[in-house]
Amino acid sequence: MSDNPVFDRIQSEIDSNDVVLFMKGSPMFPQCGFSAAISHALTTLEVKFKSVDVLEDGDIRNGIKDFTNWPTIPQLYLKGEFVGGCDIIREMFEAGELQQLFKEKGIEITA
Amino acid sequence: MAMDAIEIETLIKASLPDAQVTIEDLRGDGDHYSAYVTSVEFAGKSRVQQHQLIYSALKGRMGNELHALALQTSLPKSN
């Protein structure tokens, strides 16, 4: 437990789900092009992931930036570890590295 | 609020003096940029850490004045 209740909530999300995407909007209705791109990549790989809509929760929206030390959203967590934001995930996806990483971590993908 | 490409480059170079910075104004609106940065400081660092170096060089502007900066980082090509 930290002194920050928002950090505790974020920690509990990434502890209880293998793949967590903090995004604007939902995978069905993304509210930002960058969030849409990453959620689309995950959907393409048919990865099961938990999405957290930061627009619905201002505390998380601000808190996640400090938590990760990362200024932008989306943010992808895999088994409790920050993998990257939009640019990194896109680069990894296009290079096939994201698929590789999921396999290494034992996350089921179909692609 | 927007930022000049020159300002972005200046901030990055203030933190990473050897950096080669290529900036493109993607929409010509001073608000959506891409930056390609090479620096020896990236050696031995993950992509996340490399991007964090750039973000900290931008001193909190990323995500605020600077709405969109698509980042790509790498080590300088050896001669």
Residue B31 has what pLDDT?
Answer: 81
Nearest by CB to A65, from B63, B68, B71: name it. B63
Cβ within 8 Å, pair B47-A71:
no
Question: How many separate domains does chain A show?
Answer: 1
Contact A70 B52 (CB under 8 A): yes
Domain ranges of chain B: 5-74
Q: What is the mean pLDDT of chain A?
A: 94
* B49 interfacial to chain A (CB closer than 8 Å): no
Looking at chain B, which residue has its C-alpha nearest residue A34?
B68
pTM for this predicted structure: 0.90
The range of the structural domain enclosing residue A93 comes to 5-104
List pLDDT tens digits, range B26-79: 888 878 899 999 999 999 999 999 999 999 999 888 878 887 889 999 999 865
For domain B5-74, give the CATH number: 3.30.300.90
Cβ neighbors of B7 (< 8 A, separation 6 or more) are none
Question: Which is it for the CA torsion A36, A40, A105, A99, positive or negative?
Answer: negative
Instruction: List the CATH number of the domain containing A97.
Output: 3.40.30.10
- Convert the pLDDT of each residue in A33-80 to its tens digit: 999 999 999 999 999 999 999 999 999 999 999 999 999 999 999 999
Q: Do A87 and B55 touch (CB under 8 A)?
A: no
